[in-house]
Chains A and B, each alone.
Chain A
């Protein structure tokens, strides 16, 4: 019998019991829809991370004092004072290094007039706006003279500026008190948004690192160095930095680093790896519902074969071959799974769009989603439809015709 004829017969059979067909399809619809939505959410999250990482700056290398990879108090506290401003200066000489900024971090209560705010105070060097691709909205960033003289000048992040002075106000020239010391506001940073670790990058104040060292904390060392490389190929530069610092810190070959050098890709890749693992896990769970949908198809086809035993017996008696019967029932199963798959794809797209629109969860449907979903649906139909179809084809016509 021609495939077209078999298809028509299969469609007719499915149409005879519409409710049952729809309910069986539901398993596939939900399964495919769920997998697509999960993958879309996962990819959306990954895309968001990549954006956040990009917004942190390009070709970045972070050097942190102390090596918490080793764990334990033994390494942490003592070694954390080994990073010095001179190390930062030395890094400038390395080929492949474009800009360098020493960094000292602090926190403090900031007061302006009758407003106050507790925020992060980042001590940095003049090149920070270049490194982070972060321009000022109002005013200017500080100068090398400010750094040399440990001047008490501050550039505010937009959240701090708005909290202390109100929105759309240029507070340049105003005096604020950080930890009770007066600082002159010389500018406000442009808005940056959420950072790589989910922190609000605009809730911060930039101050010369020397000022934090001498005026706020009274220390000689620095906490970190931020470097931007000339090219995106940051790995060799990171290596060179590591080697130089080991020499400068007089570390012998057996000793572990007393610092951590991490490229932006490494930081990002840790997060994307986590997200990717989560996406795979979610997709696998959703895939379980696909499996259940397939089992549902097999179950209903088996019931259908039993119900239609006499019909099968009749078809065999009037000349249907085993493979004609096999094909008929297999096509029925495939029609259910493909149609269910199609509707599931629609559901997946719709659900992703709804999540994005109403919950602002980023989603990104992979370009081969439709093809893959279709492929899976078809494979499910063939796989789970085969056993019932074979059962039908193997019926003995005499027994089948006698079946009550």
Chain B
């Protein structure tokens, strides 16, 4: 019996906004084993985002315990949490959050620059970044800027960035929210492949049930508590679905199009 990657006990998070007290989490209990792919769903304000922030060590619980890889994280200092985020957690955001005017390669290796302990040589950093980009199928685009990449490609770069420090878990917050149907399936396919082939543990928030069904286990939140926690019996297979889709519409070479300013393409300025 292996140690759970994530172990959460009686997690409570209450915060005060002006004069209003918000009880975002009212006692959550969760265990995540290595290799699981958890889909977390629930309506807005149900506490799923709050849980995500605590799991991502971006926030500390009001009470309760959170063990990551067996270590009690809930009482760590800010700097210690930063180190944990750097080495053990990979983030994938809805808005991609890539640095604009920065190459894909430089974006991917960014976490390694903040790796305080291991001073890596730049050659080693580049090698690892190229490896991560290959894992998401974008090795040939390593020198492109975000505004030269499609939404799906940008998200894949973000996934490569999340992978690079070989984290214990990947936390994805609505990763397909800004993508069209086809690209969403592509991206979920990458998550699935990483989960199945490499055994990477994934915790993914979504409010769409069809996205949730790519995972192994469903956790549903309501009013700050976990309402449902069960295995997904009919797991969808992204690769199969992708193959079954009709080929994408060919682009008309001379169709008029609006030039979209770079600021609107999802890069973080």
A is bound by B: yes
- Counting CB contacts under 8 A, is A401 at the interface? yes
Q: Within 8 Å CB of B268, what residues of A?
A: 308, 310-311, 314
- Counting CB contacts under 8 A, is B26 at the interface? no
**Alpha-carbon distance A307/B268, docked complex (angstroms):** 10
- Counting CB contacts under 8 A, is A170 at the interface? no
Q: Is the CB of B59 within 8 A of A315?
A: no
- Counting CB contacts under 8 A, is B246 at the interface? no
Q: Within 8 Å CB of B56, what residues of A?
A: 317
Stretch at the interface among B109-117, B135-143, B188-196: B109-117
Q: Is the CB of B85 within 8 A of A317?
A: yes
Q: Within 8 Å CB of B86, what residues of A?
A: 318-319
Contact mask for chain A residues 279-319; partner B; CB cutoff 8 A; 1 contact, 0 none:
00000000000000000000000000001101101111111
Q: Is the CB of B91 within 8 A of A318?
A: yes
Q: Is the CB of B114 within 8 A of A401?
A: no
Q: Which residue of B lies closest to A9 (CB)?
A: B113
**Alpha-carbon distance A324/B110, docked complex (angstroms):** 13
- Counting CB contacts under 8 A, is B161 at the interface? yes
Tell me the residues in window 1-16 of chain A with beta carbons closer than 8 Å to chain B beta carbons.
Answer: 1-2, 5, 9, 12, 16
Stretch at the interface among B30-38, B93-101, B217-225: B93-101
Q: Within 8 Å CB of B97, what residues of A?
A: 310, 313-314, 401
Q: Which residue of B lies closest to A304 (CB)?
A: B269
Task: Say what secondary structure dominates the interface of chain A.
Answer: helix
Given the contacts A324-B114, A398-B58, A398-B59, A314 and B82 also touching, CB distance less than 8 Å: no
Q: Is the CB of B85 within 8 A of A318?
A: yes
Q: Is the CB of A319 within 8 A of B93?
A: no
**Alpha-carbon distance A319/B83, docked complex (angstroms):** 6
**Alpha-carbon distance A184/B114, docked complex (angstroms):** 94
- Counting CB contacts under 8 A, is A242 at the interface? no
Q: Which residue of A lies closest to B102 (CB)?
A: A12
**Alpha-carbon distance A308/B101, docked complex (angstroms):** 13
Q: Within 8 Å CB of B252, what residues of A?
A: none
Q: Is the CB of B99 within 8 A of A2?
A: no
Q: Is the CB of A317 within 8 A of B99?
A: no
Q: Which residue of B lies closest to A2 (CB)?
A: B119
Tell me the residues in window 51-102 of chain B with beta carbons closer than 8 Å to chain A beta carbons.
Answer: 53, 56, 58-59, 78-79, 82-83, 85-87, 91, 93, 95, 97, 99, 101-102
Given the contacts A1-B116, A322-B78, A311 and B99 also touching, CB distance less than 8 Å: yes
- Counting CB contacts under 8 A, is A320 at the interface? yes
Q: What's the least CB distance linking B180 to chain A, in Å?
A: 22
- Counting CB contacts under 8 A, is A321 at the interface? yes
**Alpha-carbon distance A5/B120, docked complex (angstroms):** 12
Q: Is the CB of A319 within 8 A of B82?
A: yes
Q: Which residue of A lies closest to B50 (CB)?
A: A398
Given the contacts A397-B58, A398-B58, A320 and B53 also touching, CB distance less than 8 Å: no
Q: Is the CB of B111 within 8 A of A319?
A: yes
- Residue from the set A2, A12, A317, A319 with the largest chain B CB neighbour count within 10 Å: A319
**Alpha-carbon distance A398/B173, docked complex (angstroms):** 12
**Alpha-carbon distance A44/B197, docked complex (angstroms):** 78
Q: Is the CB of A316 within 8 A of B82?
A: yes
Q: Is the CB of B101 within 8 A of A16?
A: yes
Given the contacts A318-B91, A319-B87, A5 and B78 also touching, CB distance less than 8 Å: no
Q: Is the CB of A318 within 8 A of B110?
A: yes
Q: Within 8 Å CB of B102, what residues of A?
A: 12
Q: How many residues of B contact A (CB 8 A)?
A: 28
Q: Is the CB of B78 within 8 A of A319?
A: no
**Alpha-carbon distance A1/B93, docked complex (angstroms):** 24
Q: Within 8 Å CB of A401, what residues of B?
A: 93, 97
Q: Is the CB of B79 within 8 A of A321?
A: yes
Q: Is the CB of B111 within 8 A of A318?
A: yes
Q: Is the CB of A317 within 8 A of B110?
A: no
**Alpha-carbon distance A89/B177, docked complex (angstroms):** 108
Q: Which residue of A lies closest to B165 (CB)?
A: A319
Q: What's the least CB distance linking A279 to chain B, in Å?
A: 46
Tell me the residues in window 203-260 of chain A with beta carbons closer than 8 Å to chain B beta carbons.
Answer: none
Q: What's the least CB distance linking B147 to chain A, in Å?
A: 13
Q: Which residue of B lies closest to A5 (CB)?
A: B113
Q: Is the CB of A321 within 8 A of B93?
A: no
Q: Within 8 Å CB of B115, what residues of A?
A: 319
Q: Within 8 Å CB of B111, what residues of A?
A: 318-319
**Alpha-carbon distance A159/B11, docked complex (angstroms):** 100
**Alpha-carbon distance A315/B99, docked complex (angstroms):** 10
**Alpha-carbon distance A322/B77, docked complex (angstroms):** 12
Q: Within 8 Å CB of A308, what residues of B?
A: 268-269
Q: Within 8 Å CB of A16, what residues of B?
A: 101
**Alpha-carbon distance A311/B110, docked complex (angstroms):** 12
Q: Within 8 Å CB of B53, what residues of A?
A: 398
Contact mask for chain A residues 63-98; partner B; CB cutoff 8 A; 1 contact, 0 none:
000000000000000000000000000000000000
Q: Which residue of A lies closest to B171 (CB)?
A: A317
Contact mask for chain B residues 8-32; partner A; CB cutoff 8 A; 1 contact, 0 none:
0000000000000000000000000
Q: Is the CB of B85 within 8 A of A319?
A: yes
Q: Is the CB of B269 within 8 A of A320?
A: no
**Alpha-carbon distance A307/B100, docked complex (angstroms):** 13
Which A positions have Cβ atoms within 8 angstroms of B? 1-2, 5, 9, 12, 16, 307-308, 310-311, 313-322, 324, 397-398, 401
Q: List 29 A-B contacts (CB under 8 A).
A: A1-B114, A1-B116, A5-B113, A9-B113, A307-B269, A311-B269, A313-B97, A314-B99, A314-B268, A315-B110, A315-B114, A316-B82, A317-B56, A317-B58, A318-B85, A318-B86, A318-B91, A318-B110, A318-B111, A319-B86, A319-B87, A319-B111, A319-B114, A319-B115, A320-B114, A321-B78, A321-B79, A397-B58, A398-B58
Given contact pairs A315-B110, A320-B82, A322-B78, enumerate 16 new A-B contacts (beta carbons under 8 Å).
Answer: A2-B119, A16-B101, A308-B268, A311-B99, A317-B56, A317-B85, A318-B91, A318-B114, A318-B161, A319-B86, A319-B87, A319-B114, A321-B79, A321-B83, A321-B114, A398-B59
9 nearest CB pairs, A to B: A319-B86, A319-B114, A321-B82, A310-B268, A318-B111, A314-B97, A311-B268, A319-B85, A320-B114
